[in-house]
Amino acid sequence: MLGKEHLGIPSPWDPDGARRIAVELKGLEGPLLPILHAINDRFGHVNTEAIVIVADVLNLSRADVQGVVSFYHDFRREPHGRHVVKVCRAEACQSMGSEDLAARLERALGIKFGETTSDRRITLEPVYCLGNCALSPSVLIDGELHGRMDESKVLALVSEERP
Amino acid sequence: MTVKVFVPCDAAALSMGAEAVANAVHAEIVSRKLDFRLIRNGSRGLLWLEPLVEVETPKGRVGYGPVKATDVKSIFDAGLGQAHKLNVGLVEEIPYLKKQERLTFARCGITDPLSLEDYEAHGGLKGLRKALEMAPAAIVQAVTDSGLRGRGGAGFPTGIKWKTVLQTESPQKYVVCNADEGDSGTFSDRMIMEGDPFALIEGMAIAGVAVGATRGYVYIRSEYPHAFKQMNSAIEVARENGLLGTNVLGSNHIFDMETRLGAGAYICGEETSLLESLEGKRGQIRPKPPLPAIAGLFSKPTVVNNLVSLASVPVILSEGPEHYKNFGMGRSRGTMPIQLAGNIKRGGLIERAFGITLRELIEDYGGGTYTGRPVRAVQVGGPLGAYWPTNLFDVPLDYEAFAAKGGMVGHGGVVVFDDTVDLAKQARFAFEFCAIESCGKCTPCRIGSARGAETVDKIMRGERVIENIDLVRDLCETLRDGSLCALGGLTPMPVMSAIEHFPEDFDRKPSHAAAAE
């Protein structure tokens, strides 16, 4: 099926694989977003080479595809880390201290939002509402939703040390 | 007799550990060799009780909540339905639920969301069956007569949209469901997709039959991975059972649908931007006219409705427009699924007829703030809604009454803040959010939002406060009158309401560093 089934460690970039995705989905009505999602899911990002391939398969200009990739927050230009932590920074979560949580996570991980730790363990991203607004603060970690979060709970969920 | 045990698969329940609870329940059933069946239902919307485990008993369904996986063994030890510290009694008798008027959410949390049999046993498909025996114009008339208005926020009469599409000749027409529920404080679309997806499918099929559209799309935001998956599964089941396809429920009507995933752009909740996105373009808004009802998806006549609007159509058809219309007040007819969120003790989904007050919602249902501190402000209607103080809590929930006080009902999200909130910071965020999410098409929104955030920064630093507040006021007028769509047009609402109602938060003094310059 199209789109995110789960997030995992991105596959290494493979132009033939990207082309196969584009060819397989090109028959859909409005195929560009489904194709970009599938590439972004598989490889963790949509790079310039992918843009060229997709433009070729769909007979669009590179600028058209580039414009779409840059418009949407979901499409990354760099591969993500082994864990993707999306912290909700919208109003309902703000009312429950999400800005404090966001600042603490930046400090604890030593990165800003939109960045990946140097050991490639964690990518930290903002998100504006996960639809879990009665159980704030909410965080989406590797595609799984977690409510009533705090710094220690988030860090425990992305810890790779086995107990 | 097999006993049914329910553990929700709703994302909010999962966010509090429902998966581990379901696994623990399953393990107990197996190890105790019980004749029990575990059902993954949707959520009842009593979100502070999630995960809410329910057990069928001769008296009704008994609930336990909030349950942790480690509580499961003791619940089975005590005997299901027996006294236990987490036993909340008969779920239907919990006042939060009992006092509701559930029409659109009548089945949510009760049924197995992917069982069409269960759906039918609880009143499903009656609306579509009725519609299949009616003339298209009569279906549209019924929706018009019900008084249903767009639940996405704009409140435009649904029947009028449908009528336009019906009357526009075209070899291909579309039904598009806007499930890009981006407003903070809202989750009703998500709950339907996860808890009663057939209600949406039935509503879309009725819309298709009514206007002569054979294809439908549900545009789901990527922030809802669980809803996306559940919707796809439900569409599969609907297809296998002939609810979708070339002979809808054995009739000669064709209707099929599929999901499409958004890509993290709030603006795609705006209907024309959503259509651009579905076509595979940047989600930039289209100037109107032409209306999407005349030239929408791929320039074909298109019904674009919010998910809750579409999911309300089956009950309007099955029970009759009069039944639906008898709920509500003034020109706001029917019920509204209100989502109580933010800093609130008992948050959740409350479906009530229009006319209920914020006071009843926040005090009676919500029980005050989660932190236990006094309520200071509430934002109703998402990030573009007004911030209101407690002295406006008696305004009845009604499109016109809210507008008269400078607010809006929007998609029904109510976000509560305690007395630690800084409204200048919230006003700044409103501009910042507009700047992040602006599609860039029109100048007031693209540039004005960034300048607005900078100006509020100056106010917060105590720089020429009075002059800068005047500047914000002026900028807000430009945004309101000069933007192409609601994002730029309504960003002034949270900003100006914060300044109007909470002027003390903007009365900043220069910091020592700034004063020394």
Secondary structure (DSSP) of B39-86: E-----SBGGG-S-EEEEETTEEEEE-SPPGGGHHHHHHH-TTS--TT
Is residue A100 in some structural domain? Answer: yes
* The domain made up of B3-98 is a member of CATH 3.40.1350.10: no
Which of B414, B229, B41 is CA-nearest to residue A145?
B229
Q: Are B347 and A135 within 8 A, CB to CB? A: yes
Task: Say if A41 falls within a structural domain.
Answer: yes
Q: Which of B280, B433, B439 lies at the smallest CB-CB distance from A30? A: B280
Give contacts of B 169-188 with A, CB under 8 A.
181-187
From first CA to last CA, the distance across chain B in angstroms is: 81
ipTM summary value? 0.95
In this prediction, residue B516 carries a pLDDT of 46
Tokens describing residue B299: 């320039």
- The CATH number for A112's domain is 3.40.30.10
Mean pLDDT for the stretch of residues A37-47: 96
Cβ distance A73 to B263 less than 8 Å, yes or no, reads yes
How many CB atoms sit inside 10 A of residue B458's CB? 18
Angle at B338 between CA B485 and CA B453, to 5 degrees: 40
Which residue, among B213, B198, B222, has the nearest Cα to B297 in the 3D structure? B213
Count of structural domains within chain A: 2
Q: How is domain B328-418 classified at the CATH fold level?
A: Ubiquitin-like (UB roll) (3.10.20)
Burial tier of B439 (Cβ tally within 10 Å: 0-12, 13-18, 19+): buried
Average pLDDT over residues A158-163: 71
Interface probe with A: pick from B217, B276, B373, B415, most Cβ of A within 10 Å: B415
Which spans in chain A are helix H? 15-25, 32-43, 48-58, 62-71, 91-94, 98-109, 151-157
The answer to the question of residue A139 being in a domain is yes
Taking only residues 232 to 251 of chain B, the set having a beta carbon closer than 8 angstroms to any beta carbon of chain A reads: 232
Q: What percent of chain A is modeled with pLDDT above 70?
A: 93
* A73:B281 CB<8 A: no
Q: Which residues contact residue A71 at a Cβ distance below 8 angstroms, ignoring those fewer than 6 apart?
A: B265, B282, B283, B284, B439
CA distances from B348 to B98, B221, B226 (A): 14, 21, 18
How many Å lie between the alpha carbon of A16 and the closest alpha carbon of chain B?
22
A2 inside domain: no
Judgement on whether residues A106 and A148 belong to the same structural domain of the protein: yes
Q: What is the pLDDT of residues A50-93, one digit of tens each?
A: 999 999 999 999 999 999 999 999 999 999 999 999 999 999 99
Give CA angle at B343 (B341, B348), nearest 5°. 30
pLDDT in tens, B376-399: 999 999 999 999 999 999 999 999
Collapsing DSSP states into helix, strand and coil, what is residue B87? strand
Question: Does residue A87 share a domain with residue A37?
Answer: no
Q: Do B341 and A134 touch (CB under 8 A)?
A: yes
Cα radius of gyration (chain B): 24
Asked whether residue A163 carries a pLDDT value surpassing 60, the answer given is no
Minimal C-alpha gap between B222 and chain A (Å): 8
Give Cα separations from B426 to A94, A154, B35, B371, B377 (angstroms): 9, 25, 53, 19, 11
pLDDT at B140: 98
pLDDT (tens digit, 0 to 9) for every residue of chain B, 517 residues total? 899 999 999 999 999 999 999 999 999 999 999 999 999 999 999 999 999 999 999 999 999 999 999 999 999 999 988 999 999 999 999 999 999 999 999 999 999 999 999 999 999 999 999 999 999 999 999 999 999 999 998 899 999 999 999 999 999 999 999 999 999 999 999 999 999 999 999 999 999 999 999 999 999 999 999 999 999 999 999 999 999 999 999 999 999 999 999 999 999 999 999 999 999 999 999 999 999 999 999 999 999 999 999 999 999 999 999 999 999 999 999 999 999 999 999 999 999 999 999 999 999 999 999 999 999 999 999 999 999 999 999 999 999 999 999 999 999 999 999 999 999 999 999 999 999 999 999 999 999 999 999 999 999 999 999 999 999 999 999 999 999 999 999 999 999 999 999 999 999 988 655 544 4
> In the CATH scheme, what is the homologous superfamily, with its name and number, of domain B116-325?
NADH-ubiquinone oxidoreductase 51kDa subunit (3.40.50.11540)
Q: How far is B352 from chain A (nearest CA, A)?
A: 18
Other beta carbons within 10 angstroms of residue B419's beta carbon come to 11
On whether residue A39 sits in a domain, the answer given is yes
**Inter-chain CB proximity B281 and A136 less than 8 Å:** no
- Put simply, the chain A residues between 26 and 55 with a CB less than 8 A from any chain B CB are 29-34, 36-37
Domains of chain B by residue range: 3-98, 116-325, 328-418, 423-512
User: Is the CB of B280 less than 8 angstroms away from the CB of A32?
Assistant: yes
What's the pLDDT at B130? 98
Residue A2 — very low, low, confident or very high, per pLDDT cuts 50/70/90? very low
Tell whether A59 is covered by a domain: yes
CA separation for the pair B22, B39 (Å, rounded): 9
Q: What is the pLDDT of residues B62-96, one digit of tens each?
A: 999 999 999 999 999 999 889 999 999 999 999 99
Q: Which of A89, A132, A154 to mutate to test the interface with B (most CBs of B within 10 A)?
A: A132
Cβ atoms within 10 Å of B375's Cβ, excluding its own: 23
Closest Cα of chain B to A43: distance in Å?
A: 16
For B468-504, the DSSP string reads: HHHHHHHHHHHHHHH-SSHHHHHTHHHHHHHHHH-GG
Evaluate whether residue A9 is within a structural domain: no
Does one domain contain both A97 and A151?
Answer: yes
CB contact under 8 A, B15 and A135: yes
What is the C-alpha to C-alpha distance for residues B187 and B236, in angstroms, rounded to an integer? 24
CATH topology (fold) of B423-512: de novo design (two linked rop proteins) (1.20.1440)
- State whether A68 and B282 contact (CB < 8 Å): yes
Residues of A within 8 A of B184 (CB-CB) are 90-93, 128-129, 133
CA distance B375 to B362: 9
A26/A51 same-domain check: yes
Is residue A77 assigned to a domain?
Answer: no
Domain extent for A105: 83-157
What is the predicted pLDDT for the residue at B300? 98
Of A37, A75, A96, the CB nearest to B370: A96
> pTM of this prediction?
0.96
Q: How far is A120 from chain B (nearest CA, A)?
A: 23
Instruction: Identify the pLDDT of residue B510.
Output: 83
Judge if A143 and A106 occupy the same domain. Answer: yes
pLDDT tens per residue, range A104-142: 999 999 999 999 999 999 999 999 999 999 999 999 999
Are A95 and A41 part of one and the same domain? no
DSSP code for B104? T
